[in-house]
């Protein structure tokens, strides 16, 4: 049976008579923390799940828990009979007020099967009570399609996933039936590891070797001088980018090596050109020179650098994109730009590549126009719809500039592996579903679908930052789907 994916967060209302299989179905498909069960709450406020005298208190508590969870935009699976129309509509109203999708799952289990299951229970539902529920269900199943849910589902293989993966199944199928190629780059954004400072060289060599074996086409490093707040703490160990790439050139034999991306304010641009050319020669022609506007003002202040205005940095970036190919070309002709003046562009040895790739980082219109005029590739962010829009804008200026895409990617072998990784890696105070969405947490099949969609949107290379490098070998399974 095909897997049905529901967007995270969402509200799932289980509806059906007793012994129809609702609780078993929910437990098999959802983490226990997502399920609000009337039986479990009856055990909490009474003597046990079968303590009918505690039902009123249990349902009052259920209503409070459901309201609080939906108010916090948390995926909520409501596991009770669901036969009360007024309650169902209240839950639907809460979901609508929170802007969350809401589906009903209808358990139309044959009456005789419900009775058979009930007889097999240690604690049975009284026969007359079950008969009344079955009679109510006959009317309820006709009402459900009229109540306004996003969908009324039959019990099936259901999984709640980040929105990026809702349509990934069909895309993965397209990749299986008509494979397309896609390059993969590994971005290293953190150098925190168990081996400590003395083991850093061995650790990063091992990461690079494993990445190459996994099938990655490139390794990219962030160009910063201390860790950025989106990833870690300012005092976390953080390696200088181009020095690290020089070391990785000696540790690898195939992958391309580059910055994603070098802040244009951090170095004399002619010096940057010399560094990139040297890396290209020593790596056997595998260098990529990524450049960007530079955004981390606190880092500039910490190191005593000027942090020019946005307009000044754009002028510098445009000059850099024009200067670097001149530096890498023959001769020593002078360069005079808007803000850069280089009297002598001697740079020998020249790069081994006939054209050392220039990659610009950024998704804004002004950056895309600059890339269209002067670069070989532009790296963008965003979901598939945003990427498609940016590619369309870029193609209005150039048909030849490649589009690459950067995202954090947590990949698990299956949905249980994904759930375990999310539980292990998420910050203590962050909701698992929000963390999963932030890091694009999905299975191998999910990721194949997402990357196929990005490829169809016009992306030639995806750069992924793995929250856990322990998943490198799992990522290899995704990469292999684009190597057929």
Residues marked active site are found at 224, 297
Residue from 302, 164, 309, 311 nearest 229 by CA: 302
The string of DSSP letters for 334-368 reads -EE-SS-EES----SSPPSSSS--EEEE--SHHHH
Q: Are 149 and 96 in contact (CB under 8 A)?
A: no
Q: Give the span between the Cα atoms of 374 and 369, in whole angstroms.
A: 9
- The pair phi, psi for residue 61, each rounded to 5°, is -70, -40
Residue from 186, 226, 206 nearest 466 by CA: 186
Q: Give the span between the Cα atoms of 463 and 382, in whole angstroms.
A: 13
315-352 burial code (b ≥16 CB/10 A, e <16): bbbbbbbbbbbbbbeeeeeebebeebebeebebeeebe
- The pair phi, psi for residue 106, each rounded to 5°, is -95, 120
Tally DSSP H helices, then E strands, for the chain: 18, 20
Cis peptide before 71 (omega within 30 of 0): no
User: Hey, how many other C-beta atoms are within 10 angstroms of the C-beta on 34?
Assistant: 20
217 DSSP 8-state letter: S
Bridge partners, residue 183, by sequence: 461
């Amino acid at each position: 049976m095909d897997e049905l994916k529901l967007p995270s967060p969402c509200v799932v209302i289980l509806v059906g008579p007793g012994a129809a299989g609702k609780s078993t179905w929910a437990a098999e498909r959802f983490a226990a923390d997502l399920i609000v069960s009337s039986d479990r709450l009856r055990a909490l406020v009474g003597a046990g799940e079968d303590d009918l005298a505690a039902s009123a208190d249990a349902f009052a508590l259920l209503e409070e828990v459901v309201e609080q969870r939906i108010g916090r935009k948390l995926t909520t699976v409501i596991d009770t009979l669901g036969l009360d129309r007024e309650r169902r509509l209240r839950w639907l109203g809460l979901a609508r007020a929170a802007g969350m999708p809401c589906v009903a799952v209808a358990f139309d289990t044959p009456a005789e099967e419900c009775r058979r299951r009930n007889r097999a229970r240690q604690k049975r539902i009284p026969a007359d009570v079950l008969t009344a529920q079955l009679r109510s269900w006959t009317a309820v199943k006709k009402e459900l399609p009229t109540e306004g849910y996003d969908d009324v589902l039959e019990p099936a293989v259901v999984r709640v996933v980040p929105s990026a993966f809702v349509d990934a199944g069909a895309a993965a199928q397209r990749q299986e039936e008509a494979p397309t190629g896609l390059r993969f780059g590994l971005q290293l954004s953190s150098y925190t590891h168990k081996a400590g400072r003395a083991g850093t060289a061995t650790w990063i060599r091992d990461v690079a070797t494993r990445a190459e074996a996994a099938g990655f086409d490139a390794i990219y490093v962030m160009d910063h001088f201390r860790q950025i707040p989106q990833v870690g703490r300012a005092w976390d160990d953080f390696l200088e980018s181009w020095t690290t790439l020089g070391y990785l050139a000696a540790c690898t034999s195939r992958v391309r090596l580059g910055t994603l991306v070098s802040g244009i304010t951090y170095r004399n641009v002619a010096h940057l050109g010399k560094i990139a050319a040297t890396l290209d020669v020593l790596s056997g022609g595998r260098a990529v020179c990524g450049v960007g506007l530079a955004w981390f003002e606190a880092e500039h202040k910490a190191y005593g650098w000027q942090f020019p205005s946005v307009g000044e940095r754009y002028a510098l970036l445009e000059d850099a994109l024009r200067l670097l190919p001149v530096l890498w070309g023959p001769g020593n002709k002078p360069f005079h730009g808007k803000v850069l003046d280089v009297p002598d562009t001697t740079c020998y040895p020249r790069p081994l590549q006939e054209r050392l790739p220039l990659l610009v980082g950024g998704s804004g219109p002004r950056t895309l126009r600059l890339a269209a005029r002067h670069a070989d590739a532009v790296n963008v962010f965003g979901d598939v719809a945003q990427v498609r829009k940016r590619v369309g804008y870029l193609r209005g200026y150039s048909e030849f500039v490649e589009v690459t895409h950067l995202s954090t990617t947590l990949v698990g072998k299956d949905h249980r592996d994904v759930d375990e990784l999310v539980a292990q890696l998420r910050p203590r105070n962050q909701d698992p579903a929000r963390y999963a969405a932030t890091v694009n947490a999905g299975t191998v099949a999910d990721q194949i679908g997402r990357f196929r969609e990005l490829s169809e949107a016009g992306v030639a290379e995806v750069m992924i930052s793995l929250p856990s490098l322990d998943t490198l070998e799992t990522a290899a399974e995704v990469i292999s789907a684009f190597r057929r």
